[in-house]
Amino acid sequence: MMITNKIKVFRAINDMTQGELAEKVGVTRQTIIALEKGKYNPSLELAFKIAHVFDVGIEEAFSYQGSEN
């Protein structure tokens, strides 16, 4: 998986459930579960929304593990 995230960590820090986060960013809980498990890469808009909910920069919540090639 090229894109990793710290959604679970930020959820724990903010004492937020997956359902609450899903409601705040307007997606289903399944999408939050898939994101946390690294099974789905979010759109740029969703990534920004999630970062905004946690009040952090997008690069803090998500990171790209690209290869040099």
Partner 1 sequence: MDKKKFRSYSVVISALMGAGVGISVANGKPGIALAVLLTGQWSIYWLKSRVKEVMEDEMITMYAGKAAKKVFEIFGLLISAGSMVFIALKSREPYFEYVGYTLAFSAVTMVLIYAIAYYYYTRGLRGLMSDDNE
Chain residues that interact with partner 1, rule: CB under 8 A: 22-23, 26-28, 30-31, 34, 40, 42-43, 46
Least Å distance, CB 28 to partner 1, is 5
Identity of the amino acid at 12: A
In sign, the C-alpha dihedral spanning 14, 15, 18, 20 is: negative
Least Å distance, CB 63 to partner 1, is 20
The nearer residue to partner 1, 13 or 45, going by C-beta atoms, is 45
- Chain position carrying tokens 């903010």: 14
Least Å distance, CB 26 to partner 1, is 6
Asked if 33 and 17 touch (Cβ cutoff 8 Å), the reply is no
